[in-house]
Amino acid sequence: MKKIFFVFLVLLQLSAKSQYLVNYNFIMKSYDSFGESKSVSKGYLYTNEVKSKYIFSRVLNGKYEEVTVHSNKDIEKSSNDRNENQRGDGIGSNVMNNFETDSTFSRVFLNDKNKYFLIKEKNEKLDWKIVNEYKTISELKCQKATTNYNGRDFFVWFTNQIPVSSGPWKFSGLPGLILEVSTFDGNKKYEVTELKKIDYKEFNEAFSVMPKMEIITFENYKKSIVGQVEKIFKYKKSQSPDSDFQISIDDLQFPLIEFK
């Protein structure tokens, strides 16, 4: 009888915590000689006071959850066509934080290996500076904060009306949910599109969908990504050795990397 009561008490405590599902758009702008390009991809955050899971880069029916808009419609069509027949799955890439154990697990896809891997790290402690500026997002009062991550300056808007210390991707550590993230130049931005409370069953199911994967270090993951891009750069450069062709890896998880 005591065991049954204990299980009931644990379930009651879990249900007392508020769980949230927050949908975001990740907007990335870039510029070339043909004009401005803007890609919009979807992300999903499951979070409570104890843990969070951010899901992005899902591949559904062979297609990324991403749309590109370009001032040149031929380039726009080509970019969106490349999103077809992609490798990956509907679970997508994930960033999972446990705030009690101070740990982060990231599910990542490597094209050269054609499979997903798991990276285990310590939670990254961002150096936040809270600013005395406010605005309203989704009818919630939000406050501004700034930080630097991988050599990029960011400002965010968070709300202490939802006291969970999480946000999109690896942005966390503030006294409230982060609803918006932007680089200072505005070229990379997370915007909330929907926010709702969910029950513990739905919340728990989001964490239970995780197949077994080989564990790799972040250093080896980065080495693989850089190696793939460097290989492309060397090939294209060999085709036009006198050109000023260059490639950059402008990914938030790394400092800016350029090949010239």
pLDDT in tens, 89-108: 999 999 999 999 999 999 99
- Tokens read off for 63: 């297609």
Whether 128 has a pLDDT exceeding 50, the answer reads: yes
Query: Residue 237: inside a domain, yes or no?
Result: no
Query: Residue 79: inside a domain, yes or no?
Result: yes
Query: Residue 238: inside a domain, yes or no?
Result: no
Give the separation between CA 30 and CA 42, rounded to whole angstroms.
18
Whether 13 has a pLDDT exceeding 50, the answer reads: no
Confidence bin at 4 (pLDDT 50/70/90): very low
Q: What is the pLDDT of residue 2?
A: 44
The phi and psi torsions of 163 (rounded to 5 degrees) equal: -80, 60
What is the number of domains present in the chain? 1
What's the rounded mean pLDDT across residues 240-247? 81
Whether 15 has a pLDDT exceeding 70, the answer reads: no
Nearest to 165 by CA among 54, 49, 55: 49
Instruction: Find the domain containing 131 and state its range.
Output: 16-216
Q: Model's pTM, two decimal places?
A: 0.89
Instruction: Tell me the pLDDT tens digit for each residue of 194-203.
Output: 999 999 999 9
Query: Residue 109: inside a domain, yes or no?
Result: yes
Please provide the average confidence, as pLDDT, over all residues in the chain.
Answer: 90
CATH code for the domain of 42: 2.50.20
Residue entry with tokens 């793939």: 228
Q: What is the pLDDT of residue 5?
A: 41
Q: What is the pLDDT of residue 167?
A: 98
Q: What is the pLDDT of residue 159?
A: 98
Query: Residue 175: inside a domain, yes or no?
Result: yes
Query: Residue 260: inside a domain, yes or no?
Result: no
Query: Residue 11: inside a domain, yes or no?
Result: no
Q: What angle do CA 241, 245, 250 make, to 5 degrees?
A: 145
Going by their DSSP bridges, the two strands 152-159 and 177-183 should be labelled as: antiparallel
Query: Residue 3: inside a domain, yes or no?
Result: no
- Tokens read off for 7: 């299980």
